[in-house]
Amino acid sequence: MDDEDLVLVLPTRKPPKRRPKPVPEDPSIAAEAAAFELGRMNIIDAKKDWPDYTYEELLGIAFGIIRDKYPDLGGDKKKFVMKPPQVARAGSKKTAFTNYAEICKLLKRQPKHVLQFLLAELGTTYDFIHHI
């Protein structure tokens, strides 16, 4: 066989592409998809536009929801009132802190730790005297 005898015949047009059949959509699914794309939480929210809230308004809304769901939290904390320290003169240059143990009990702290804090804040040294 000669090469001239063989003729290659190619089709002149392409076969049509197959298109998938459209699936009938449920209206509720379409609404949910649209709401999801817009970032809205549910279909009720998707029906109306989002209002522009200020930061303070959003905080008020958030705390209102927390108060509604958890009324026992309420945000009303008991105010802790400290007794003022009773200070007396101990000699000409020294000062005595007479209700120190009582204040440590009210604070529910160890006296040693309270003393370290006071000395650091006052920037001074101390001399512990029992009889005052």
pLDDT tens profile 61-119: 998 888 888 877 766 667 778 889 898 888 888 888 889 899 999 999 999 999 999 88
Give the pLDDT confidence score for residue 17 in this predicted structure: 85
d(CA 129, CA 132): 7
d(CA 9, CA 110): 101
Give the pLDDT confidence score for residue 70 in this predicted structure: 83
Q: What's the whole-model pTM score?
A: 0.41
Assess whether pLDDT exceeds 60 at residue 1. Answer: no
Task: Give 24-63 pLDDT, tens digit per residue.
Answer: 667 666 666 666 665 555 555 556 666 788 999 999 999 8
49: phi then psi, degrees, rounded to nearest 5: -75, 155
Structure tokens at 131: 């009889």
Cβ–Cβ < 8 Å for 75, 63 = yes
Q: Exposed (0-12), middle (13-18) or buried (19+): which is 120, by Cβ within 10 Å? A: exposed
Give the pLDDT confidence score for residue 15 in this predicted structure: 76
d(CA 85, CA 87): 6
Give the pLDDT confidence score for residue 60 in this predicted structure: 92
Cβ–Cβ < 8 Å for 44, 55 = no
Task: List the one residue out of 65, 124, 64 whose CA is nearest residue 95.
Answer: 124
pLDDT (mean) for 7-12: 68
Assess whether pLDDT exceeds 60 at residue 132. Answer: no
Q: Exposed (0-12), middle (13-18) or buried (19+): which is 97, by Cβ within 10 Å? A: middle
